[in-house]
Structure 1
Amino acid sequence: MDLQNKKVVQSNTLIKAIAKMDALPLKLFELAVANVDTKEKDPEVELEKDLIRTFLPRTNALRHDYLQTIMTNLMDKSTFTVKYTKENGKKKTEIFAPFSKIEFSEDESTVKLSFSNKIMPYITELKKNFTQYRIEDLRHFTSSNTITIYKVLMMYYNQYTNYIANGKRTKEELESFLNPVIDVSELKALTVQGKKSYDRFSDLKKRVIEPAIKEINEHTEFNITYDTIRVGRKIAKIQFHISNNSTEKLIGELTAEKKLSLSDVQNSPYTALLLGAMIVNFADANNESLMMSLGENVYPKYDVFVNKHSLDDLQKHLKYVKDHMNSKPNELDKYLIKALDDFEKNKGKYAKRDKSKLKQKEKLPDWAKDDTAQKNILTEKGIQRSKEIDELLEKINKDTSD
């Protein structure tokens, strides 16, 4: 089988999942994914033993007992952990095995692997937010950490190649995909397994980061470097730099050639959502200045939002924005960006109406709460008023008699 052009395609959710398995089982999992027929969505994959042998470290032997050890390890000691936040804001964790069954025999030349039902959507239902990379690149990796870091970096590189092709990103945004920033805590969660914690960054650097970068640079077309980012005195983030022979040339040429047009903005699904929420009208949709400001400044942020949440969540967000918009702002793009930033700061939870800020009714005096006291006061006022009338009548009668 020619592996040069064979690619692995996986959901970004699975890319960012914590894979608990050694290097060899992880490579065999990737090899199996590369051979899935995504159209048929068949959970069973057959791999030639000769192909499996090419992924073994420094040996051509593939005896039945050795194959059994490898496959047992793949079945019993391999899991993926996916963490995400539910709509109600609660965190949820799912842990599942990649395979439900593995079959092989001494007198057969293939190994049959059956993917678990839980993992199939992550490798077959890939309408958006997926990553692909060459399976050949993984062949010579000796560490599961190298495979994990490589896959994460390819996730960003795939976004770069996708957006540079459709011309819907600025040069600065494209460069951010080639220079992704990853929290040290996130990198540890993805790579450090077992009892090792590498509390000191120097240990993480020596044992995980630098060996992985060395293998990627030696065995793939990519050149990876990195810088550390401090928060106070602590190294909190790592900025990786991804390059190959084509990246700089593409950024220079394609971003200059492809520019966002009014038609691109008008045909964007985000324009349809804004129209549906009545934040813009059809007259606005033909206002070139307004629409281009939305396309250039707002829609890229909506891309990030949809990747993180969903298009339905964006629709709900825009309805909320419209419900709380007193009048159309002069700078709609800045208004929508601020609304989105507020949403993210509140972690997607719209602030409930603060009852303490509602206008309260004027507090009644104590005497008004007592019916008896109120009647007495009214009675006293009536008596006083009656006296005033009597005095007035007496004066009138006196004047008349005079």
Structure 2
Amino acid sequence: MFVIETFKKEFFMKKEKNNKKHNKNRYLVQQSNALIETTQKMSLVERRLMYHVLSRINPKKPQQEYVLRVEDFAQDFPQMGSGTIYNQLKDAVVSLFKRSIQLLTERGTTKIFYLLQEQEYKDGEGYLRMKFSDSTMPLIFDLKEKFTTMVLENFKFLDSVHSLKLYELLYQYKSQGWREITVEDLRFFFGCEDTYPDFKLFKQKVIEPAMKEISEKSDLLVQAEYLRTGRFVTSVKFIFVEKTDRQIIDAECELAEVKNLTKKQPLRPALKRHPNPRKFDLDDYKSAEPTSRREYIKLKFAWAVENYKRITGYEKALKEYDSKMTLKAKDQELKSNYVKIMAECYDEYLRYAFTWGGTGVLDEIKEDLTSK
């Protein structure tokens, strides 16, 4: 049986040999993209433990066993304090030993395997031993292609497992600056297949808090676009840029530029044709029967409301695409004209309020059209 004490001398010798100032940019977390795109229902401590281990191993020199020094871990994650850190790590190693990982293969199947093959600890000592499973080894060692390297210092203060998982998923596409992920895959990656079935709640409880924390506590600024198929959101496009302490404002500007590059300029919508141009001039049908006039007014009002809705929606889309863009003069004139027509329709209805039953029908038309 492996005995932890045999490692003490070796690790103390390494500590003496490498007794240098802690270099926060030295510790790189390198892992296969396939490992990133797995569902791992780990606790926050378990995930931090894995990042710590991955940052300390040499990916070019396969080593199935790793001895974790509590002192080193505490140096990486000082926000956890030192009082109960050993017990937290012990519990995390024990839990990791029981954790299975689900990996989507290129064949479309789901492969399930355990992360660790063995774990060992001794109460009262500042060491814990863990041994990776055979299936895990190819995902963290001797990586030649399709892998991602992250600087631990840049994301170690993230306090949510969802934030950490999203950070990994985005960092894979660091050079591209955006990534589109289906809602189904997001649920899989976050381990939320059976929770928050309503997307609105999933967005509120998982996606948006993760983006907010990443933007506040890591080296990335993140925004999202929610893409629909019909009435339902089916995928999310995350747009992000790197930032530095001295370039946060520049990064925010760059984020807006990247967003514009990955987003198509909105097209001007087709406007609804006037139902009956000749009869919809109030002066032309004053001699018409009151009942006919009322129907004309209703149709004209609905036409004006619908086109006003389309033109203002287009105006809003232009602003979202580029804050400097606005409606052309002709469309501004049309927008004002629709407001004028709606007011005229109200005035006409008020003239015959007693016989036409008031303006309630126009309010219903407006509410119905604007709610669609």
Asked if Structure 1 and Structure 2 have the same fold, meaning a TM-score greater than 0.5 normalized by the shorter chain, the answer is yes
Task: Determine whether 1:149 maps to 2:166.
Answer: yes
Quick one: percent identity of the two aligned structures? 23
For 1:211, the aligned partner's letter is P
Candidates 30, 33, 42, aligned match of 1:12: 33
Q: Aligned residue for 2:125?
A: 108
Distance 2:117 2:41 in 1: 16
- The residue correspondences of 1:88-167 to structure 2 (distance < 5 A) are 91-157=108-174, 160=175
Output the CA distance in 1 between the equivalents of 2:89 and 2:217: 26
Amino acid at match of 2:115: P
The alpha-carbon deviation at position 3 of structure 1 amounts to: 3.5
Q: Distance in 1 between matches of 2:235 and 2:141?
A: 33
1:224–1:243: 8 Å Cα contact kept in structure 2?
Answer: yes
What does residue 26 of structure 1 align with?
Answer: 47
The CA RMSD measured in Å over matched residues stands at 2.5
Indicate the larger mover: 99-108 or 33-42: 99-108
Deviation at 1:241, TM superposition (A): 0.8
Structure 1: gaps of 5 or more residues: 161-176, 253-402
How far off is 1:52 after superposition? 2.5
Aligned to 1:181: 180
The answer to whether the 8 A contact 2:49-2:89 is kept is no
Structure 1 residues 194-239: Cα deviation after superposition (integer angstroms, max 9, x where no partner): 741x222211111111111122112212111111111111111111
Q: Return the offset for 1:99.
A: 1.4
Q: Which amino acid aligns with 1:142?
A: D
Instruction: Tell me which residue corresponds to 1:230.
Output: 228
For residue 203 of structure 1, what is the aligned residue in structure 2? Answer: 201
Structure 1 Cα separation of the partners of residues 193 and 183 of structure 2: 17
- After superposing on structure 2, the runs of 4+ consecutive aligned residues of structure 1 that deviate more than 6 Å are 246-249
CA separation in 1, counterparts of 2:171 and 2:92?
Answer: 27
Change (3 A) 1:63 1:141: closer
Deviations 1:350-390 (A, max 9, x none): xxxxxxxxxxxxxxxxxxxxxxxxxxxxxxxxxxxxxxxxx
TM-score normalized with structure 2 length: 0.56
Shift of the 17–65 alpha-carbon distance from structure 1 to 2, 3 Å rule, reads closer
Cα separation, partners in 2 of 1:192 and 1:10, compared to 1, 3 Å: same
Q: Give yes or no for contact 1:27–1:138 (8 Å, CA) kept in 2.
A: no
Instruction: Map 1:273-312 to 2 at 5 A.
Output: none
Whether the aligned pair in 2 keeps the contact of 1:21 and 1:79 (CA below 8 Å) is no
Given candidates 66, 71, 76, the residue that maps to 1:50 is 71
**1:61-80 Cα deviation digits (max 9, x unpaired):** 1365444323222222x222
* Superposition TM-score, scaled by structure 1 size: 0.52
Per the alignment, in what secondary structure is the counterpart of residue 20 of structure 1? coil
Give the greater-gyration-radius structure (CA). 1
Q: Could you list the runs of 5+ residues in structure 2 that have no partner in the other structure?
A: 1-21, 258-372
Opposite residue 119 of structure 2, the aligned amino acid is I
Whole-angstrom CA distance in 1 between matches of 2:158 and 2:66: 23
Give yes or no for the alignment of 1:62 onto 2:60.
Answer: no
C-alpha distance in structure 2 between counterparts of 1:182 and 1:120, whole Å: 27
Aligned residues: 227
Q: Give the secondary structure class of the aligned counterpart of 1:126.
A: coil
1:258-294 deviation digits (Å, cap 9, x = unpaired): xxxxxxxxxxxxxxxxxxxxxxxxxxxxxxxxxxxxx
Aligned partners of 2:65 and 2:227: how far apart in 1?
Answer: 44
C-alpha separation between the residues in 1 aligned to 2:40 and 2:114? 10
Q: Provide the residue aligned with 1:73 in structure 2.
A: 95
In the TM superposition, residue 38 of structure 1 has moved relative to its aligned partner by: 2.1
